[in-house]
Chain A
Amino acid sequence: MSKTGPLTAASPPLLKIEGLSVAYGPVLALQNVSMELLSGSLVGVIGPNGAGKSSLLKGILGMVPTSGKVTISGQSLSQARQRISYVPQRSEVRWDFPITVEEVVMMGRYRHIGWVKFPGKTDREIVAETLEQVGMFDLRKRQISQLSGGQQQRVFVARALAQQGDIMLLDEPLTGVDTTSQEVIMALLEKQRDDGKLIVMATHDLNTAARECNFCCCINHRLIALGSPEQIFNPDILAATYGGNVLTVNTGNSAAGATLIIQ
C-alpha cells in the first residue's frame, strides 16, 4: 500500500519518503510509509505508544534498519544529511556527563567543523545566538544535569538550531517539559517554520498537535492519515489510529471549531 500525502506540489518536495519500513529483528515497527513534506510546514507525528513514531524519525535518518527511499530536495540521504537536524528523546542521553550547556550546543557544529579542527569564531557566535534564542544564554556554563527537564530540552533544541539544517526532526520534545519551556520551544519551532524550514515533531500531546501543527501524520505501524488538523481530528481517523482509545469532545466555542481531545 502506498499513500501520498496531500502536500504534493510542483516544486520537488523538501522531504520525500517512499515505502519506508523499519524492522528491529523480526519485529516490523513501521511498514511501507510514503509521504511528501514541503518546506514551511510544522508536522506533528501522532499515534499511540510503540506505534513507530520514533522509528519514523530514526528511519528517515537511516539510524535503524530500514528499507525504502528517503530523498531531500531530490538528493540522497548521504548527500544531504547535513541538512537534517535531530533532537533525540531526553531518555537517550547520559545526563550525568561532565559537560556544559555551551559544549552540548557546540556539538551541533561538529559536522561543520570537521575532524581534528577546533571550533572557530563563527561557530562560537552561532552557539551564543541559539542559546539566546532558547533563553539559556545565562546558564551556558552550567553542567547539564543541573538543569530542569525543560531547560535540558531547550538546550537540545538549541543544538539542533546550531546545526542550521532545513529540516528538524524532534522526538517527543514536549514530554516531561515545564510550560515555560514548552512555550519557548513551540514559539521557536513556529518561527523556524515561518522561515521556510520543515519541522517534524513526534508527540503524544494531541492538543498541542491540533493547535500548533499545520499537518498531522497519524502513525500506527503504518501511515493511517496525513493532513491538516481539521482533516485529521475526526473520530474515525483517531479511532483508526488509537484503536478507539480516544474520546473526542467538540468544544464548539472556538471560531475554528477546534476539537478538544481527552486521552
Chain B
Amino acid sequence: MADILNNIWNWLIEPFNSLYAGTLVRNALWELLIISVIGGVVGTYIVLRGLVFIVDALTHAIFPGVVIAFLIGANFFLGAFISALAVALVIALVARNRRVSEESSIGVIFTGAFSLGVVLLSSQRSYGRSLKDLLFGDILGITTADLWVTAIVGLLILAAIFVARKELLLSSFDATMARAIGLPVARLDLFLYLLIAATVVVSLPAVGNILVLAFLVTPSATARLFTNRFYKMMPLAVGIGMLSSLVGLYLGYYANVAGSAGVVVVATAFFIIALIISPHSGLFVKIRQRHLWKQRLRQESLEVRA
C-alpha cells in the first residue's frame, strides 16, 4: 500500500523535479496558475456580459502588434499592449454604436488584423516556428522574468477590479440604473476592456494568440453552470482554471503533447462534463424533470378519469 502511494507521489512530482525539465515545468505551472486567477476573475465579466466574441476579436487584432514587436526586436509586452490599447479603444467605440452591425465590423477588423500579422511574419525565414509560438504560446519557454511580469500585472488587474467591483457589477447587470445614479458607464466599459486587454497581453507568451480566449472564457463558462451567485462564480472559475492547468501539464509531460493546448482540452472536457451534470441546467436534471412531469401528468389524468 505504502509502495503504491509512494509511486503515485513520485509520478506526481516527477515533472517538477526532473533534471532537464524541472525548472521549465515549475515555471510553466506557476504561470498557468497566475493566468487562471486573472482569467477566472476577468472571464466572469466576459461571460456574463456576453463579450466572448469581442474578446476573441481583441486577441486576434493585437496579433500584428505582437508580430511587429517581434520583428523589430522591441519589447513584446510593449508591442502587444500598445496594439491592445488601440484595439480596445476601437472596440469600445464600435460596441457603443448600435447602428453599426457590431458583429460584422468586428469580424472584418479582427480577421483583417490577424492576416496582416501573418503577412508581416511570413517575410521571415524562421516563419513557421515563430508563427507557432506566437499563435499557441511557448509554455515551457517561460522565464522567471516572465513570471514576475505576469504576477505584477495580475496583481494590478485584481486590485483595479477590487476598487470598482460594485460599480462594474451594477453596470454589467443594469446599465440603465448605473447611468441613472450617475456612474460613468462609458468609462467603466473602457476600463473593463483595458483590464481584459492587459490580461490577454500578459497571458500571450505562455498560451498564445489563439488559445488565450479559452483561458479567459472556458473556466468561467463552466463555473456559471454550477452557481447562480456572482461572487461564487469567480473563485469557482479560478479553481477550475487551476485544476485544468495542473491536469493539462501532466498530460503534456506524460503524453508528450503541447502543454497549453493540453490545458485547453482538459478545460473543455470539464465544461462538457458540467453541461451534463450541472445541478441547475444539466442534462441529467432536465431528463429527471421531464420524467417527473410526465409522471405527474399521468397521475393527474388517471385522477380525472377516476
A residues in contact (CB < 8 Å) with B? 61, 63, 78, 81-82, 84-86, 88-89, 92-94, 97-100, 103-104, 107, 110-111, 113, 115-116, 143, 159, 163
Contacts and interface: CB of A to CB of B under 8 A. Distances in A.
B173 A94 contact: yes
Max count, chain A CB within 10 A of own CB: residue among B162, B163, B166, B182: B166
A100 B229 CA distance: 7
A88 B167 contact: no
Interface in B163-184: 163-164, 166-167, 169-170, 172-177, 179-182
Contacts of A78: 182
B230 A81 contact: no
Contacts of B233: 98
Given A115-B166, A159-B177, 19 more contacts: A61-B180, A78-B182, A84-B180, A86-B176, A92-B174, A92-B175, A93-B176, A94-B173, A97-B230, A98-B224, A98-B228, A98-B230, A98-B233, A99-B173, A99-B230, A100-B229, A110-B167, A111-B181, A111-B182
Contact of B180 (A63, A98, A113, A143): A63
Interface residues of B, number: 24
Contacts of A159: 177
A98 B48 contact: yes
Nearest to A84: B180
Contact of A81 (B166, B169, B181, B227): B181
A116 B229 CA distance: 20
Contacts of B177: 86, 88, 107, 159
Given A61-B179, A81-B182, A103-B230, A97 B172 contact: yes
Given A98-B233, A99-B230, A93 B174 contact: yes
Interface centre among B163, B180, B227 (most CB of A within 10 A): B180
Contacts of B179: 61, 63
A41 B182 CA distance: 25
Contacts of B164: 115
A136 B20 CA distance: 62
Contacts of B162: 116
Contacts of B166: 107, 110, 113, 115
Contacts of A107: 166, 169-170, 173-174, 177
A122 to B, nearest CB: 16
Interface in B212-267: 224, 227-230, 233
Contacts of B230: 97-99, 103
A116 B181 CA distance: 17
7 contacts: A86-B177, A92-B176, A94-B48, A99-B173, A111-B182, A116-B162, A159-B177
A10 B194 CA distance: 51
A34 B203 CA distance: 55
A243 B51 CA distance: 43
A55 to B, nearest CB: 13
B157 to A, nearest CB: 16
Contacts of B173: 93-94, 97, 99, 104, 107
A110 B162 CA distance: 14
A98 B181 contact: no
A231 B172 CA distance: 43
A236 to B, nearest CB: 35
A27 B180 CA distance: 22
Contacts of B170: 107, 110
Contacts of A85: 180
B182 A88 contact: no
A143 B233 CA distance: 13
Nearest to B48: A97
A186 B154 CA distance: 49
B224 A94 contact: no
Contact of A98 (B174, B176, B227): B227
Given A63-B180, A81-B181, A110-B170, A98 B229 contact: yes
